[in-house]
Amino acid sequence: MSLARVDTFALDGVEARHVWVEADIRRGLSAFTVVGLADKAVREARERVRAALQNSGFVFPQERITVNLAPANLRKVGPGFDLPLAVALLAASGQLPAEAVAGCAFAGELSLTGEVRAVRGALAVAEGVRRHGLERLLLPRGRAREAALVGQVEVIGVETLQEAVEVLRGEREPPPIPEARPSDELAGVDEPDLSDVRGHNGLIPALEVAAAGGHNLFLHGPPGTGKTMLARRLPSLLPPMTAHEAIEVTRLHSIAGLHGGGLVTRRPFRSPHHTISASGLVGGGSVPTPGEATLAQASVC
């Protein structure tokens, strides 16, 4: 019998909750069971992990495998548990020393070839790692720059499962973090400016007062009168985001899957359709996700 436990995090709304992946391997008929309130994407990880281990040159245990995702009352959603599952199996089967995974959290999706793919919420996970006193975070290289925005955590970005194991064994130096840069989605985008507006002389002073004082502003009128056009230019009046605001906006957009790494440096503008549902506007759903009002944090919706 062999038992191993590794750390990971599950997204719960706009926060990351600590999860332990416990792998137990013992004699018996070959089986692979995942328990702990896992959704379909997590249960399907069994086949991805099996193929990724074998195609990366590791031995998949042909015994009775039970994996528990604790705490059992927290719903586990998404493919980000693939890498923690694979590492737990390698540690439980003796292919990876137990001390190599101590104090390290893992997050990432696996392809059948062993490639480590990006997941949502890397910044939130890194904040959870720091909050729980863990020292390292191993995740896809494409999200390492985002996770490195959180201090006091050693971030290791890898591209394959084989590379991850070599780094954990000490056979390879951790790759450097990609150079920090502004968000790819916002780079090179010209921000609409209020100076472009002609007319609306009675509304522009109201926008300036709202921006200067941080007041709420409600624009009401028939279609075509320029409400959205003016609102879209309101962020150009707002001061640059503080470091705290930039981190908060980046974390929310990362959790929503709208961000590709780096730091969001421009205030977002959200323009929801008038037919949007209540949960789409304020957030929620069967799997809680940020709504349009949440994604407009520190800016305009």
- Which CATH architecture best describes the domain 2-169? 2-Layer Sandwich (3.30)
Contacts of 147 (CB under 8 A, 6+ apart): 122, 123, 125, 126, 137, 139, 153, 155, 157
Q: Give the N- to C-terminal CA distance of the chain in Å, as an integer.
A: 56
Residue range(s) of every CATH 3.30.230.10 domain in the chain = 2-169
Q: Whose CA is closest to 274, among 227, 236, 234?
A: 227
Spatial distance between the Cα atoms of 301 and 220, rounded to a whole number of angstroms: 14
Q: What is the pTM of this model?
A: 0.87
pLDDT averaged per 10 residues, the chain (length 301):
92 93 95 94 94 97 96 93 97 95 97 96 96 96 93 95 96 86 50 83 87 87 88 89 91 85 84 87 82 88 77
